[in-house]
Amino acid sequence: MLARAQRIPREFLAKPKGRRVSFRFGTVVFLPLVPARAAVVVSKKTFRAAVSRNRVRRRVAAILRRVLREKKLAKSILIYANTAALRAPFSELEQAIKDAIAHS
């Protein structure tokens, strides 16, 4: 889980308005919130089992922690993960997310 200071508040997750970039393992939404924060959304529609949802959420959150530590972002990031994110190697998932964020 991301630290509280790094998480996007729940009220901004309902209907996010921002630029969307699709990539192989999901969609990234760039929100105009300052300071830069992040969130991961993994729906029950995509993963029925809680174990799968939590595993994907933990993997993507770990990558977002690295990204927030390494880069100074001007926008907040919201990631919607899809089914391919569960089986992807961590390094491949990390590279895909970093490439999607670089397209902002």
Query: How confident is the model at residue 85, as a pLDDT?
Result: 95
Question: CA 93 to CA 67: how far, in whole Å?
Answer: 13
Number of domains in the chain: 1
H/E stretch holding 26 reads strand 26-31
H/E stretch holding 63 reads helix 50-70
pLDDT at 61 exceeding the cut of 80: yes
> Which structural domain, as residue segments, surrounds residue 38?
4-102
Check which CATH number belongs to the domain holding 69 and give it: 3.30.230.10
Query: How confident is the model at residue 26, as a pLDDT?
Result: 95
Query: How confident is the model at residue 5, as a pLDDT?
Result: 85
Question: CA 86 to CA 57: how far, in whole Å?
Answer: 9
**What average pLDDT does range 60-72 have in this prediction?**
89
Residue whose tokens read 């200071």: 5
